[in-house]
């Protein structure tokens, strides 16, 4: 649980990033903004801020806001029964720069900075750099993690239905939801 003072500090920084990115959100969306440290207690290092626009049985659309250098840790969206292979998601960078790591050939000079205190739980290092207007689709059941560049970042996510509580994180201490 993020202490109240820290929660409001991160919320303010998140709203400032949205303003810089010229992303307009409603009062209800601001009130529903999810701010999480994923149970690790260091939200500026490993954490994520999310506004869910829609999430139903057919599709999902979210805004992901990351503070400068903030990391969403390695995870995957695995199968959810015999007829659902897991969430497929497309990340589109709207503002800032995003370092997205996926399986494949290891990038020789990775721009992302692996959080030292949990480094053993980051295992994929094929870096895709997303600048505003760039997008990348992560297939279902694929390990991935991402980090904002020095300014922070705003990512629009378009996906199949999202069941965040079912995400599988490489780090056993992470608690997403549920």
Asked if 113 and 147 touch (Cβ cutoff 8 Å), the reply is yes
Asked whether residue 178 carries a pLDDT value surpassing 60, the answer given is: no
Asked if 118 and 73 touch (Cβ cutoff 8 Å), the reply is yes
Q: What sections of the chain are H helices per DSSP?
A: 4-20, 27-31
pLDDT at 31: 96
Strand-pairing partners, residue 77, are: none
DSSP, res 82:
T
pLDDT at 177: 63
Asked if 164 and 177 touch (Cβ cutoff 8 Å), the reply is yes
Say what percent of the chain tops pLDDT 90: 93
Q: Which residue has the tokens 């601001």?
A: 30
Torsion sign, CA atoms 21, 26, 31, 32:
negative
pLDDT, averaged across the chain: 95
Asked whether residue 44 carries a pLDDT value surpassing 60, the answer given is: yes
pTM of this structure = 0.95
pLDDT at 119: 96
Residue-range domains of the chain with CATH: 4-169 (2.60.120.10)
Tell me which of 24-33, 45-54, 80-89, 134-143 is least confident.
80-89
Q: Which two tokens stand for residue 150?
A: 């020095």
Name, in order, each residue with C-beta under 8 angstroms of 6's C-beta and a sequence gap of 6 or more: 43
pLDDT at 82: 86
| pLDDT (average), residues 42-70 | 97
Can you tell me the distance from the alpha carbon of 75 to that of 145, in angstroms, rounded to the nearest whole number?
A: 6
pLDDT at 127: 98
Residue 162's pLDDT band (cuts 50, 70, 90): very high
Give 87-146 pLDDT, tens digit per residue. Answer: 999 999 999 999 999 999 999 999 999 999 999 999 999 999 999 999 999 999 999 999
DSSP string, 44-99: TTB-EEEEEEEE-SS-EEEEEEE-TT-EEEEEE----STT-----EEEEEEEEEEE
Q: Which of 156, 151, 145 is nearest to 67 (CA)?
A: 151
Residue 173's pLDDT band (cuts 50, 70, 90): very high
pLDDT at 176: 75
Strand-pair category, 71-76 with 126-130: unpaired
Strand-pairing partners, residue 130, are: 98
């Amino acid at each position: 649980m993020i202490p109240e003072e820290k929660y409001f500090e991160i919320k303010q920084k998140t709203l400032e990033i949205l303003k810089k990115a010229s992303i307009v959100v409603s009062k209800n969306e601001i009130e529903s903004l999810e701010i999480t440290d994923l149970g690790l207690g260091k939200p500026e290092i490993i954490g994520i801020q999310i506004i869910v626009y829609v999430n139903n049985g057919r599709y999902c659309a979210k805004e992901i806001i990351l503070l400068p250098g903030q990391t969403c840790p390695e995870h995957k969206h695995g199968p959810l029964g015999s007829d659902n292979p897991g969430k497929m998601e497309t990340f589109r960078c709207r503002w800032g720069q995003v370092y997205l790591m996926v399986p494949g050939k290891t990038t020789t000079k990775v721009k992302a900075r692996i959080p030292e205190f949990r480094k053993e739980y980051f295992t994929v290092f094929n870096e895709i750099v997303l600048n505003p207007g760039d997008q990348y689709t992560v297939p279902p059941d694929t390990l991935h993690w991402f980090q904002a560049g020095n300014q922070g970042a705003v990512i629009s996510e378009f996906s199949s239905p999202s069941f965040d509580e079912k995400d599988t994180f490489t780090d056993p201490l992470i608690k997403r939801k549920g």
